[in-house]
Structure 1
Amino acid sequence: MKHSADYPLASRPIMGFADEYPAGMLDPRHSHSRSQLTYCNSGVMMVSADEALFMLPPRRAIWIPAGTEHEVQCRGPVSAYTLYIDPELDPDPQTARVIEVSDLVRALVFEVGQFEPTYDMDAREGNIARLLLSEIRRMAVTPSDLPMPQDERLLRVCQALIDNPADQRDLDSWASLAAMGRRTFTRAFRRETGAGLATWRQQVRLMAAIPMLEAGKSVAVVAFEVGYESPSAFTATFHKVFGMPPSAFINQPREDEAG
């Protein structure tokens, strides 16, 4: 596993590298002086940043602005490319987010990740780096984040659902776990997460489903393991959120399969 501190990041506006992360890897909360773009080639990363929990599935990238504290976990093996970008060139310095990655952006990330630290900004490498920044601005945000509440009572509920997305307890039971009345719980949860409990739980289930699909489990098995009553209900929700069915999502080509 490589570390950004091992690289002369200030030598060029965009620097980066490819790396492999083992199952169980935890990179504790930290920040960088440069903005970070991490493209996940295979495996699934969980990134905590900006008071939210982000899932970074394969063929997506996460943008983390300079100075943003974040923590990274890999429950299984992960192959990724990480780029560090001068904040003055930020495509969008506002907030952390997971973005769609076009074939062009994927190819550009791969190229920049192979550059030597002293690459020529006035030659081919510099043109590729500038084109990558321009293309990042055009990429759509994908719904892969979970806003996390600050109230410890609500956090108990959220953590229970993250630990077991298939938990079928009803609203009254969750309110009881939070030691709140039903109405108070509902209002507080929406106020702190921006979503109702049902919507938030749906996102937890989809986030839990992706690494299972990546591991080769069938759509039917995954659907039941994350709490859906039928594979068709799971597939319909997955398609609505990600724009494609689970089978198409996991069969997208990785960089090492392209060409």
Structure 2
Amino acid sequence: MSHIHPSFSVTEPDSIARPVAVMAMGGEIPDWEMGAHTHLKSQLMVTQSGMLTVGTAEGMWVVPPRTAIWIPAGVSHSVTSFGLSKGIVVFLDPEIVFEHLRLCTVLEVSTFLNVLLERVIDIPQLYETEEDIRLMQVVVDEIAQAQQQWFYLPVPKDKRLKKLTDELIRMPDMELRLELAADLCHISQRTLTRLFLKETGLSLNDWKRRLHILLALQWLHEGKPVQIVAQLLGYESDSSFIAMFKKIMKSPPKKYLKQ
């Protein structure tokens, strides 16, 4: 079984002379990071335990257990692991194209796909049997059918808006009034509202709530109590944070983590 860890050569998967290659990831070293890098092949990075965040020029993705991130070939990305993250990475030749996956996307990992990956992880990299070839094709078919998830925080390209979002990421507990945000960007409130929606697809308040969810998932997974997370995010009470979390995630924090 080939294994990916923080010190692995990023060129190694690109040299595997098969259209689909599967490698185990992490599980040995806690809280590791991989700096920005690219692959000639596309990849599906599946988290089985722990949690990953993936950053690109377009934004930040959170990949909790039983989800995966699709990263197209040639996209520069960095990866951060929280805890003893463990998973599987599927590398696919760039000729294997999914029309609905032209950009980085978080996908749900079905029970069948999870079991299938556990089966193919032990197949030799240079597989040749008809059975192994068929199994790898089923992996491709299952990736094509995986449901998309929203664990994504878009980053605006406009420098004025980027200054604002950088400040919110640095100080997520900052009180966000539209007047204050517009002053920070040196634009009118109307322009800020219109431009932010155009650049990110979200209103400023929705963007901040999504930031809070992504940060909360990280901090809760690290073991921080709900009360501390609520304080770090600037909520007046635990209950107001839990209500926000439940509205978006459909479960309160503790129940969501158990699921």
Same fold (TM over 0.5): yes
In the TM superposition, residue 77 of structure 1 has moved relative to its aligned partner by 4.7
- More moved, 180-189 vs 224-233: 224-233
| Identity across matched positions, percent | 32
Unaligned runs of 5+ in 1: 253-259
Aligned mates of 2:80, 2:256 — CA distance in 1: 22
Q: How does 1:139-158 map to 2 (within 5 A)?
A: 139-158=146-165
Aligned residue pairs, count: 250
Native 8 Å contact 2:11 2:39 kept in 1? no
Corresponding residue number in structure 2 for 1:19 = 25
Of 113, 126, 138, 1:118 maps to 126
Q: 1:102 to 1:229 in 2, by over 3 A?
A: farther
TM-score of the aligned structures, taking structure 1 as reference length: 0.85
Shift of 1:41: 2.3
> Which residue, 94, 104, 108 being the options, matches 1:96?
104
Q: 2:76 aligns to what?
A: 69
Structure 1 101/232 Cα, relative in aligned 2: closer, same or farther at 3 Å? Answer: farther
Distance in 2, Cα, partners of 1:139 & 1:88: 19
| Residue number among 189, 192, 199 corresponding to 1:185 in the alignment | 192
The residue number in structure 2 matching 1:255 is none
Give the TM-score normalised by the residue count of structure 2: 0.85
Pair 1:32–1:6, CA change in 2 (3 A): closer
Q: Does the 8 A contact of 2:47 with 2:67 survive in 1? A: yes
Give runs of ≥4 in structure 1 deviating > 4 Å.
none
Alignment RMSD: 2.4
Question: Is the contact made by 1:19 and 1:81 (CA closer than 8 Å) also made in structure 2?
Answer: yes
1:7 deviates by 4.2
Report what 2:216 is aligned to: 209
Deviation at 1:22, TM superposition (A): 4.4
Contact 2:69–2:104, Cα closer than 8 Å, also in 1: yes
Gaps of 5+ in 2: none
For the Cα contact (< 8 Å) 2:174–2:234, is it kept in 1? yes
2:202 corresponds, among 195, 219, 228, to 195
Question: Displacement of 1:205 after TM fit?
Answer: 0.2
